[in-house]
Amino acid sequence: MARAREALNLQQGPRTDVSVSLRMLVLIRWVAVLGQGATILFVHYGLGFVLPVESALAVVATSAALNITVTWLRRRPARLGDREAALYLAYDILQLGVLLLLTGGLHNPFAILMLAPVTVSATVLSRRSVLGLSALFEGSSWWVAFRHFRRRKGSLGFMEAVLRSKDPTIFTVLFEDSAALIGLALAFLGILAAQLLEEPVFDGVASIAIGVLLALTAIFLAQETKSLLIGEPASARLQKSVLELVAKDPAIQRANGVLTVHLAPDQIVVALSAEFKDQMRTPEIEASVERIEAALAAAHPEIRMLFVKPQTAEKWLARRRRL
């Protein structure tokens, strides 16, 4: 039992006696508080973005109050041990997570600031604390991504939603964070086994396992996002709906087919092949195109552009075979 407890300590060399300046951590937090508060006010009032200002500022104020309390309780220059410093930085990670959750989640460009407390911990804390804070950081990011993904997927299953999704940002972060959490668990087990069994090879095995895990994750995400990067067509359901709406127009003899491409998750370009009735004149065809555009915009706001090619069904099929 004592051997296991010693292995769990995971501290070697110069990190046996961790000592971190409380003044440095307080100063870093004050910089963060001022930056967060100023950014929230500027984005909401200066740029006109709608943010839950009261809730966001309350989270920032909590950090300011904690800083004042810590400074007042320890008026003399103080140094924190490994556990105290880890708890201090853990709060900063959770505070950033809550703030990002309130102000846009993964779409917030300041999400990268989550790396700051983890980077500080990597320079001053023991490996045990670094692993714990890294897990907390990845877990916070994973939870934000999971909430967004669950809201987006609706009634679909998780894998079905990933395969159908036209927005790779959410599921990419979710999969990356999941792989990172599993990787941290492998790192912990590798270090623990190396300490308990006095076999450094387990540390190397864990590193290889993490590399394989990340490689498999990258391959899967590359396969899922490749078509989106080069232009993925719209769903078969949307294409069918477009043809049905076009066919209802009185000037249309036949809706031959459509070619579609996603420019973004909510931006679709449609190229329509349609055969107009023979008696239609140019002004009537123009009016028909306007009616079709209005109908498609009402039914599918994600369709941003419509190109109409008047041609017979035979010509459409001949051109289609060449693609």
Say yes or no to pLDDT of 11 above 70.
no
Say yes or no to pLDDT of 32 above 90.
no
Per-residue pLDDT, 7? 45
**Percent residues over pLDDT 70 in the chain:** 86
**Percent residues over pLDDT 90 in the chain:** 17
> Would you say 116 and 53 are in contact if contact means Cβ atoms under 8 Å apart?
no
Task: Give residue 171's pLDDT band: very low, low, confident or very high (50, 70, 90).
Answer: confident
Per-residue pLDDT, 293? 92
Q: Which of 9-23, 198-212, 252-266 has the lowest mean pLDDT?
A: 9-23
Say yes or no to pLDDT of 26 above 70.
yes
Residue 119, both tokens: 């980077």
* Burial 216-238, CB ≥16 within 10 A → b, else e: ebeeebeebbeeeeeeeebeeeb
Task: Give residue 164's pLDDT band: very low, low, confident or very high (50, 70, 90).
Answer: low
- What are the residue ranges spanned by the domains of the chain? 2-230, 236-322
Say yes or no to pLDDT of 58 above 60.
yes
Per-residue pLDDT, 246? 92
Per-residue pLDDT, 245? 92
Please provide the average confidence, as pLDDT, over all residues in the chain. Answer: 81
Multiple choice CATH, 236-322, 3.60.20.10, 3.30.70.1350, 3.40.50.12160, 3.40.50.920: 3.30.70.1350
> Would you say 184 and 142 are in contact if contact means Cβ atoms under 8 Å apart?
no
Note the pLDDT tens digit of each residue in 69-127.
Answer: 887 876 655 777 788 888 888 888 888 878 877 887 656 666 667 677 777 777 777 77
The span from the CA of 235 to the CA of 127, in Å, is 48
> Which runs of E-coded beta strand occur in the chain?
20-21, 79-80, 252-264, 267-276, 303-310
Look up the pTM and report it: 0.57
Binning the chain into helix, strand and coil, the percentages to the nearest 5 are 70, 10, 15
Say yes or no to pLDDT of 230 above 50.
yes
Note the pLDDT tens digit of each residue in 250-276.
Answer: 999 999 999 998 877 778 899 999 999
Per-residue pLDDT, 85? 81
Instruction: Identify the helix (H) or strand (E) that includes residue 177.
Output: helix 168-197
Per-residue pLDDT, 75? 60
The span from the CA of 197 to the CA of 144, in Å, is 38
Say yes or no to pLDDT of 168 above 80.
no
Say yes or no to pLDDT of 225 above 70.
yes
Per-residue pLDDT, 209? 93
Note the pLDDT tens digit of each residue in 142-151.
Answer: 887 788 787 7
Per-residue pLDDT, 17? 55
Q: Tokens 């963060």 belong to which residue?
A: 32
